Amino acid sequence: MSAAHLPNVAGIDSTVPGPTHTAASLSGGPAAPAPPGALIQDRLAAWVSDLTTLHELIERLVRTDTLDAALAELLRAGSALVGARRGMAVLEPADGLGPATTVGLGLAHADLGHIETVPRSATSYGRILDGLPDPGAHPDLLGEAGLDPRHREVAARLGYAASYALPLAAGESGEAGESGGGAATTLDSAPATGLGRLGAVVWLYDEPAEPVERQRHLVGLYVRYAAEHLARLVELQRARVQVATVAEELLPSRLPRVPGVQLAARHRTHPRGGGDWYDALPLPEGALGLAVGSVSGSGPSALAAMGRLRASLRAYAVMEGEDPVAVLSDLELLLRLTEPARSATALFAYAEPGLRKIVLAGAGHTPPLIVGEHRTEFVETSLSAPLGMLSCWEAPSVELSPAPGETVLLYTDGLLRRTGDPMDRAFARLHAAAASVSRADRADPGAVADHVLRTMLPEGLDRPVEGEDVVLLAARFDG
């Protein structure tokens, strides 16, 4: 009768080399006595090798700047450390504030879906996410008598026979602190963010297997550092969401409906929060005020200054909107008195849709663009300094009359700067993009704005660009 089959033990990947200083004994004779200190040298060599490998993996990890990239790098490095081919990382902060995501290694989207059909309490990662005790290692899943039937079915279908899971916990000591060894004393000073449990990571073996003690120790140290890095990225993502929320709240929640004109707006705040803004407000006697602007700086202070400036412009527009120069003059005085260290650009247009007449003035701002069936041209505006740059600002206004069906585009220079081209080429690209709007799209200001954005920024508005907001306000005048 053959002996009982024992599970295989996962071998150490070539990424984590083992000690090689012990010479093999001669065949057919007694082993040569080890020189004094050879065992200590072997252990030191192994620790140095482990530390070097760990340092290289952590260096690669800290270069990631998004959650998905960090989770993917965590899975890749961890698979090398524990000798597994596939894995899954689930980000689900215990405080319930998000963000939540799942990333797989060697698993297709459908495979992740199959795994998620298994009851959470029947999986290692699920028990970790629910705060339940779990051994972490399941060296022979299909051989476990009490395995959930659905888990057995999914494991057989996807072809994995063992798993090893670890919690992702920031600011808490994990398995890394429980294992002995020289690496722990060297790498035990990771900064803690205090977010607590962030999620779980699990690696899947194709055959019955489990990591040995040295592998557990190394991957435990690595996961501990990965959790701290992920916690910082989570906090950054949350801050960006909060900044974007504040920026959106400071801008119009909806555009007004004024007879004779159709409006559409597109806006994106850069990750740190910028000061670009737009506004459209109905004025007495069927008139309409249109404004775009940009406050210098970024972050919460720029957002606050933008909110104050926009609110002030609305008040001035109601009182003297038919004179855009007076509106911007009042705004300049307010900025100089209340924000002495800040400058801003702005453009205000007083539109009478019934007469198809616009009177506008700009302060260091980009010129509007008229898009129609028979012309695509920039509005000739006089040169003027930004608000807050001179002791007294003043510039002449400009009057224009859009033809029936023409659209006037107001925008901030972030649209031009995001292209990465010099300004003269960026203006040329904007003109070409507007001129290429199809006849069918010209009837919808939203379609005009979307076409211009797609043409100018093929990578889309969601690509974060440090320091550059995008604002585009389109007003189409009916016939």
CB atoms within 10 A of CB 337: 8
Same-domain pairing of 318 and 412: yes
Same-domain pairing of 94 and 197: yes
CA–CA separation, 403 and 425 (whole Å): 28
CA–CA separation, 349 and 357 (whole Å): 10
Same-domain pairing of 177 and 256: no
Domain boundary among the residues 221, 242, 263 is at: 242
Same-domain pairing of 263 and 222: no
Same-domain pairing of 372 and 391: yes
Q: What is the CATH number of the domain that holds 402?
A: 3.60.40.10
Same-domain pairing of 147 and 258: no
Domain boundary among the residues 242, 260, 292 is at: 242
Same-domain pairing of 208 and 287: no
Domain boundary among the residues 242, 260, 288 is at: 242
Same-domain pairing of 269 and 226: no
Q: How many domains does the chain have?
A: 2
Asked whether residue 2 is assigned to any structural domain, the reply reads no
Same-domain pairing of 277 and 398: yes
Asked whether residue 18 is assigned to any structural domain, the reply reads no
Query: Whole-prediction pTM value?
Result: 0.64
Domain range for residue 145? 44-242
Same-domain pairing of 205 and 260: no
Same-domain pairing of 153 and 295: no
Same-domain pairing of 291 and 202: no
Q: What is the pLDDT along the chain (479 residues), one digit of tens a residue?
A: 444 433 444 444 444 444 333 333 334 555 556 566 677 776 777 777 778 888 999 999 999 989 999 999 999 999 999 999 999 999 999 888 889 999 999 999 999 999 999 999 999 999 999 988 888 899 999 889 889 999 999 999 999 999 999 999 987 544 433 333 333 333 344 444 457 899 999 999 999 999 999 999 999 999 999 999 999 999 988 887 877 777 777 778 789 999 999 999 998 876 666 788 999 999 999 999 999 999 888 777 888 888 889 999 999 999 999 999 999 999 998 888 888 888 899 999 999 999 999 999 999 899 999 999 999 999 988 778 888 877 666 778 999 999 999 999 999 998 998 888 999 999 999 999 999 999 999 999 999 999 999 999 887 666 555 557 889 999 999 86
Nearest Cα residue to 230 out of 166, 164, 168, 167: 168
Nearest Cα residue to 230 out of 166, 134, 298: 166
Asked whether residue 39 is assigned to any structural domain, the reply reads no
Q: What is the CATH number of the domain that holds 139?
A: 3.30.450.40
